[in-house]
Amino acid sequence: MKNDDVGINWLKSNTEGWANFLACLKAYLEYGINLRKGGFDFLTKA
pLDDT digits (tens, 9 = 90+) for 1-46: 889 999 999 888 887 788 888 999 999 999 999 988 877 777 776 5
pLDDT at 29: 97
pLDDT at 46: 56
pLDDT at 31: 96
Residue 1 and residue 12 in contact, taking contact as beta carbons nearer than 8 Å: no
pLDDT at 32: 95
pLDDT at 22: 92
Rounded Cα–Cα distance for residues 43 and 33 (Å) = 22
pLDDT at 45: 63
